[in-house]
Structure formats: C-alpha cells, structure tokens
Amino acid sequence: MSNIIQLLPDHVANQIAAGEVVQRPASVVKELMENSIDAGATSVKLILKDAGKTLIQVIDNGKGMSPTDAALSFERHATSKISHAKDLFNLNTKGFRGEALASIAAIAQVKLKTKQETQELGTYIKIEGSKITTQEPVSFGKGTSIAVKNLFYNIPARRNFLKSDTIETRHIVDEFQRIALAHPDITFLLHHNNNEIYHLKESNLRKRIVNIFGTKMNEKLVPISEQTDIVSVKGFIAKPAFAKKKRGEQFFFVNNRFIKSSYLNHAVVNAFEGLLDHGAHPSYFLYLEVPTDSIDINIHPTKTEIKFDNEKALYAILRATVKHSLGQYSIAPVLDFDRDANLDTPYAYNRKEVTKTPPIAVDPSFNPFKISETKSSTSGNSFTPRTSTPKNNSYQHSFTKEQGSWEALYSSVASETQQEQLFTSEKENNTSKSFQIQKKYILSSIKSGVVLIHQSQAHQRILYENFLENITVKEASSQQLLFPVSISFSPSDIETICSIKADLESAGFLFKEIGKDNLSIEGIPTSITESQISLILEQLLDDIKMEVPDASFSHFDVMAKSFAKSLAIKTGVPLTTREQDNLVNNLFSCKEPTVSPFGKPTFKTLTLQEIDGIFNR
C-alpha cells in the first residue's frame, strides 16, 4: 500500500498559517505595530488606503534590522523574542511566535526598508507570495518602514469575505486604540486616505484616553489604584451615570497587552451592582501588572486571551478595588436619598458651641380640651351636643358667608363626584378592543380569537418602514433648529460619520460644521426631536461597529434600523387606549408586519380553538 501522508509545500503552509494569523487588515495592523513597539520605537505612524485593502504601512523609529535579520524575519518561526520553550512563560514582548511576517508575505506584496543606527546604509526588500524578488542597499533613516499592499491579492476568495470599508476601518481603529492606550509614552499617528484621524503625542494615561475618545470623556473618569502582592491595578472607571447600552469602552490590559476576559469583566460589573440601569454596561480602562510566570498568553493566535494561575484572587481584588474607588469618590449613593445638602452642618461649625438658645413662645392660656357650654333653648333635661371652641380658630374665619359656607363646599365636592362617576360610567361603556399587559404587550381582540403584540418590536417595524420610505422614496424633510446643536465624538467616530454624511443628509440631517472631535447640527429630520439627536447618532455608530449586515439599501437600511431601535417605545412605557389602537392599526398597515427589522416576531395569534384547548384538557 502506497504512502498517503506528505509534507505541504512552504507556500501552502504559509497560506494556512495566514488564515489563522491574518483574518482581516486589522490583524496586519496589530502585528506590525506590535513589532514596532518591541523594537523600542518612540514614534509609530500608520498609513492606510481603502481600509487597508490597498495599503497598510507602518513607519517607526525603532532599532531597525541588519540585512541578514531583515531577510530572515520573513521565514516561518523565525524570531528574536524566544530561544527555549521555557521562555514562553516569561514573556516581556508583544510578538514571539515568528509567524506574523511570514504569513503576511504569503498573501500580500510587501516592501521593507530598515536600518540600524550603526549602519551607513539600510536594507530594501521586496516580497511577493513569500518569495524575495529584490534585496538591495538603500538610503534610509533609523528604524523600519514596512508596506503591505493588495492584501489577499493571490487568494481572491479570502478577499471577498472582507466587509465594507467602513467596517474594516472600524476594526483597524479598534486595534490602533488598544495599542495606543497600552503605551501612552509613545507617539502614534494614523492617516487614512490622506486624512489624519489621530495624532497622539506622548502623554499620561488620562490625557491619552481623552485624546482618543474626546474631551467629554474627561468628566466621566474616576481613578482607580491598588497594589498587592498578586496584582497591581491602576486605571480609570467611568461614572455609572455615563454607562452605555453597548459594551464599547471596556479595556483590560495585562502587562501592557490588551486582553478579553468575561471573567474579569464580571468582577467589574459586580462592583457596580445597584448603580446601573437594567441593560447598561460600565466603561473602564484597567491596567493589571502580574508576574510574567503566573500567566500563559500562548493559548490563542491573536494573543487576546490569557490564562491566570489565580483567577479567583484576581476577581476578588478587582471587585473590591472598583468598589473602593466608587465609594472613595462618592459615586455610590448614600442611604438617605432625599437628603438636602443645604441642611448639612458646615465643616467650620462642626465643633462650634451654641452661643444663644433660640426662644420658644408658648400660649399658657391655650387648652385644646376646653369646651363651651351652650344654654338649652328648651326647658327640661334636653341634651345639647358640645363643640370644641379653641381660641383663635382660623377655620372659623376662613369660610365666611361671602367666601362660601361648609355646606356650599360640600355641595361642590358632591357635584364633582357625580360628574366623575358619570365620566367613569361613560369610560366603562366605551368598550376597547385593546388591553396593555405588564406595560410590555398589547392584547387585542379579533374575530377568530386574540392577538398578542410586543409593543416595542411592533413599533420598531412601524418606524423602520416609515424611515426607509422617507429616506429612499420620498424627499426627506428637515426642520431647522433655532440654535445649532454641538455634539462631541471621538475622532474615529467623526471619521465614520463623515463616511456616511451624504446618507445622513438624505435622511434629513443638516451639518453646519464637522470638527476633529465634534460636529454641529443645524437641521434634523421632522420625525425626531432635538433631545434625540445624540441618542440616534450613538446608536447608529454602535450598529456600524457591531457589523449590522448591509442590505440592498447599504447605509440607508442600517440608518433606518438604528433610528427605529432608538425611537421605538420601550418595555415599561404605559400606553393609553388610543395609543394602543393606533399601534395595532399601524402595525397591520406595514408591508411586513410579522417581524421586527431585526427578525424578531412582533405578534402571536391565539385562535378560539387554541384558547378552548387550554381549558378543555
């Protein structure tokens, strides 16, 4: 029997490894920027074209490579970070697998320029499909420049799986932010299609967070710090009032490496217990320093998952530290919720003695039990009730004959009561076909039985079709604001808004000015109010970040879904009978009333036979 096992060619093996390491342009950005940091760079510049599909270039001022190292760096499992297996449990660098450059070179056209400080000339290398086509000396400054062009050019099927430029750019910006947050002592620049998105100068951690997420972030941050033998924790948490519906601004860093950990996230959320609304998620930027031999980061190709030796201890320390910070900075509420701060004793008067006793006025002649004896109008032992007549009775003077007697007041109340009873009787006679259940569902009667409607999901369907029709079919109407509204966003969010500006204007938004970290709006669609602008735009950005699938209407469909989700009636909102009837009628006037814009059912019909079957078992 012939042998059937064979060694794969190098170019096939490299492409298989590339499928594990390079999932999208953001993966290339992560690997190249981490290499720059490992090289000791103090300035890293990232240049993109077409969301990294055409060009990803990283330029740094690190220590560079010799000609031999430059060529060897593209070989599989070639690395300067480790030499023995035991080194895997004592890592102080970002990259160590030696697969990144080899995998990237297998699926892209790569140009490398590098030079060490002691060399007179640098090295230029050009690679296509894992093969070095050019290697020659070149005049270059200290550091390294690596340009990755036409990603997946030799694997068209992989390229077809990439998302739109907006979504791929969002992933790249996420990786850029994570690396920039981990190293506030390094200068970072990001250019996309010749536009500067970020220019982050060397700074402290708080300034770095503010520079990335906008000036509005500064007021949200609460510092956190704790030092133990097991772990050192520092960073910032956001105040509960600024919690979001999406898990956006949540960052864990272990030894300056971004990680994802649902276990540690649960510890932080647990510390916020009782301070967050239902469904809200806190924002945090937490940096953990642990001994390198107590963690294993070699369990996932992206190196974003880590195994800890003592997870339970870390959980307890992190939860207690966040709780302590919330209490230390008076974020947690006090027991007396109705306390008036104006009545608190000033600190200067805390131990001050009373100099003058306040006077107390007493009427010694007042007797609430004193009664007046009324002479009998008839002779004999007839009984006359006695009434209490305290002095200075204000009630006797408040209702005079001119103002109205007690009898007149009683007759007025009786008349109002009769009117109310009459109105209630009329309401009861006005039978309604709709009833609200638990402020969440609407039960409506139909000929064949009853229909149970989810009020929020049904309203989403109604709003979605209305918005979509206004955006795509009708000419969008816009209402001018009396004063322009200014809203702060992070530079990356501003970049996303600029990419869909034309679509937003088609929906009825009018922009007066778009700055680097804020925008000014002077017109909005007639179907929304001024107070809903920020909510709608934040929801739209979240949907784009979460990769809401693009439909045939491109961003129009995403926008209509986001608007509907933001403005729909929420669970817990009471509805009048008229509002319930309008919701039912509008729902069944939709083209597709059975499901919400997100594929969830809007109603369930119960026939009389099904109802009878419940009670006739």
Q: What confidence tens digit (pLDDT) does each residue in 190-231 have?
A: 999 988 889 999 999 999 999 998 888 888 899 999 998 889
Q: Give tens-digit pLDDT for 344-390.
A: 555 556 566 666 777 777 778 877 777 655 444 444 444 444 444 44
Distance from C-alpha of 347 to C-alpha of 352, rounded to nearest angstrom:
10
Q: What pLDDT is recorded for position 393? A: 44
- pLDDT (mean) for 264-270: 91
With contact defined as beta carbons under 8 Å apart, do 554 and 251 qualify? Answer: no
Q: Report the C-alpha gap between 221 and 509 in whole angstroms.
A: 31
The sign of the CA dihedral 465, 469, 472, 478 is negative
Count of beta carbons in the 10 Å neighbourhood of residue 118: 9
> Does the pLDDT value for residue 419 go beyond 60?
no
Q: Is the pLDDT of residue 554 over 60?
A: no
pLDDT of residue 184: 94
pLDDT for res 396: 42
pLDDT at 475: 63
Domains of the chain: 10-200 (3.30.565.10), 205-328 (3.30.230.10), 443-604 (3.30.1370.100)
pLDDT band at 449 (very low <50, low <70, confident <90, very high): confident
Which spans in 378-490 are helix H?
394-398, 406-429, 455-472
State the Cα–Cα distance between residues 342 and 153, nearest whole angstrom. Answer: 69
**pLDDT more than 90, % of the chain:** 23
Q: pLDDT digits over 451-503, tens only? A: 899 999 999 999 888 888 777 766 667 788 888 888 888 888 888 888 788 87
Cβ neighbours around 28 below 10 Å, total: 27
Q: Report the C-alpha gap between 262 and 283 in whole angstroms.
A: 14
pLDDT of residue 267: 92
The predicted model gives 47-65 an average pLDDT of: 93
Among 481, 562, 541, 504, smallest CA distance to 167 is for 541
Residue 409 has pLDDT above 50, yes or no: no
State the pLDDT at residue 405. Answer: 45
pLDDT at residue number 340: 58
